[in-house]
Amino acid sequence: MRAAITSAPIDAPALLREVAQPANGAAVLFLGTVREQNEGRAVTGIDYAAYERMAELELEKIVREACDQFGTEHVVAEHRIGHLDVGEASVAIAAAHPHRARAFEAARWVIEEVKIRLPVWKREEYVDGTREWVGNHAGTPSYEAADSRFPIPDSR
Amino acid sequence: MRAAITSAPIDAPALLREVAQPANGAAVLFLGTVREQNEGRAVTGIDYAAYERMAELELEKIVREACDQFGTEHVVAEHRIGHLDVGEASVAIAAAHPHRARAFEAARWVIEEVKIRLPVWKREEYVDGTREWVGNHAGTPSYEAADSRFPIPDSR
Amino acid sequence: MTVTALLFASYADAFGADSVVLDLRPGATIADAVDALRSRPGGSVLPSSPLVAVNLVYADARDTLEHGDEVAIIPPVAGG
Amino acid sequence: MTVTALLFASYADAFGADSVVLDLRPGATIADAVDALRSRPGGSVLPSSPLVAVNLVYADARDTLEHGDEVAIIPPVAGG
């Protein structure tokens, strides 16, 4: 397992190679990429910002939890920060397992947790030159919904 | 969309590039690879055989149905035949969609249909030199179960 | 009429052949073709109602065949 | 005691700063720190109960703070 916040372009095939093992019959790779439009507005690029030290820890926690939950050590995740052009990958998750159901579920679980928990923000740039911080996409839990399910320790 | 039965090694990154589109925010790649063991026996390689002309048509149907069902044109699938060593990819499926749920579901659906419908067979080679045709893995529908749900035309 | 039965994997091994030409009465069904195959050496490998494709499309055991049809007997598939 | 509040994305824009040092009474909670931030210029950007992490871990608004804590106010996340 491995997790990283990176400002370099994500090498998706390298992530696949990283999880490939002779014991695994299935590998799943998820790539999230910058779309050319969001909610009807033409997007020219996205700046991703992060609370970097925490994001790295939190992504490691997510990957660790996925490994424990789905029974594999072969999950890796990278989230890119900085400026991304349309089509570039902002996040990549690779998961491998002897059986395909678990590989699919692990990759899916990690991206859902990333959307809820990872302290990362994005500012979209539009064709007209304006820029705007945007919240969660439709389909991901809202801030309030996310809040209630965070694993907050009883006391620090 | 594209489907192929091929005797050449599968180029997984090429499949990902093929489905990547500026309109898509999510791409999922599934890779099925030869495991070093099956049901407790050490495997050294697998020969995949196919009813090639039909397998190509059937894989195209599966990919077409996935595109229609999940609302994308960006699904590609390749199944390799011939001799494969442990760790080599026997099947690769890439699916892209504006939203991640659909990309995951499309890739997953295609591999499940492949397991049920594609006229492909495999003969495992074991450490002791013996070889054996093997049926569906545990977790995939049995031959009898598969039979009842084939889309058989009322009359030819 | 004649049809060509195609055999694959363990079925081909059992019959010692990849294909068999069957001579059937006009109006014969897929089930009739399977019965004809089952009476040949190696035919006991076939289940009671094997999966069959005619001319590259999955078909029903009750479907009637025509002269020249390609009748593929499909062992349990194991792709992926 | 003092704690350092970290601000990100739209919150940083609203406050015009990435971080603010807050002077709080001993025993102050996260909610107290958020109230102190809300009274500053730009503080109206904060929701009633923003997500907060203390020393890199998500924390509860009722948790008490200690001198030197790093208190990150987390806007709605948008990773992926």
Using only C-alpha atoms, chain A has a radius of gyration, in whole angstroms, of: 16
Nearest to A30 among B24, B28, B33 (CB): B28
- The pLDDT of residue B24 is 87
- The pLDDT of residue A136 is 60
pLDDT > 70 in chain B, percent: 87
- Kindly tell me whether chain D and chain C come into contact, counting contact as 3+ Cβ pairs under 8 Å: no
Do residues B16 and A29 lie in contact, with contact meaning Cβ atoms separated by under 8 Å?
A: yes
Angle at D22 between CA D17 and CA D24, to 5 degrees: 165
Higher-confidence residue of B155 and B52: namely B52
- The pLDDT of residue A23 is 87
Higher-confidence residue of B151 and D9: namely D9
Angle at D8 between CA D7 and CA D11, to 5 degrees: 75
Nearest chain C residue (CA) to B52: C56
Higher-confidence residue of D40 and A150: namely D40
Q: Look at residue A137 and tell me whether its pLDDT is greater than 90.
A: no
Q: Look at residue D10 and tell me whether its pLDDT is greater than 90.
A: yes
| B6-37 pLDDT, tens digit each | 999 999 999 999 998 888 899 999 999 999 98
Rounded-to-integer distance, Cα C1 and Cα B72, Å: 45
Q: Please tell me the least confidently modeled range out of A14-23, B66-75, D4-13.
A: A14-23
Q: Look at residue A153 and tell me whether its pLDDT is greater than 50.
A: no
Give me the mean pLDDT over the D67-78 stretch.
97
Nearest chain C residue (CA) to B121: C78
Q: Look at residue B155 and tell me whether its pLDDT is greater than 50.
A: no
Helices (H), A11-151: 12-19, 52-70, 100-117, 143-148
The number of beta carbons lying within 10 Å of the beta carbon of residue A76 is: 21
pTM of the model: 0.90
User: pLDDT averaged over chain A?
Assistant: 88
Q: If 0-12 CB within 10 Å is exposed, 13-18 middle and 19+ buried, where does residue C15 land?
A: buried
3-state secondary structure B34-46: CCCEECCEEEEEE
| C1-50 pLDDT, tens digit each | 999 999 999 999 999 999 999 999 999 999 999 999 999 999 999 998 99
Among A47, A143, A148, A154, the residue to mutate for chain D (most D Cβ within 10 A):
A143
Contacts of A11 (CB under 8 A, 6+ apart): none
CA-to-CA dists, residue B61 to B4, B75, D76, angstroms: 11, 12, 42
Nearest to A108 among B33, B34, B104 (CB): B104
Cβ-defined contact of A147 to D47 (cutoff 8 Å): no
Question: What tokens does B75 get?
Answer: 């699904």
Among A78, A91, A93, A121, the residue to mutate for chain D (most D Cβ within 10 A):
A121
Give me the mean pLDDT over the B27-56 stretch.
95
Q: How confident is the model at residue A38 (pLDDT cuts 50, 70, 90)?
A: confident
Chain A residues whose C-beta sits inside 8 Å of any chain D C-beta: 32, 48-51, 53-55, 57, 79, 90-91, 111, 114-123, 133-137, 140, 142-143, 146-147, 150-153, 155-156
User: pLDDT averaged over chain D?
Assistant: 97
Q: How confident is the model at residue B40 (pLDDT cuts 50, 70, 90)?
A: confident
| A73-97 pLDDT, tens digit each | 999 999 999 999 999 999 999 999 9
pLDDT > 70 in chain A, percent: 87
Number of helices followed by number of strands (H, E) in chain C: 2, 5
- The pLDDT of residue B136 is 60
Give me the mean pLDDT over the B123-141 stretch.
76
ipTM of the complex in this document: 0.91
Question: What tokens does A120 get?
Answer: 């990362």
Question: What tokens does D6 get?
Answer: 């970290």
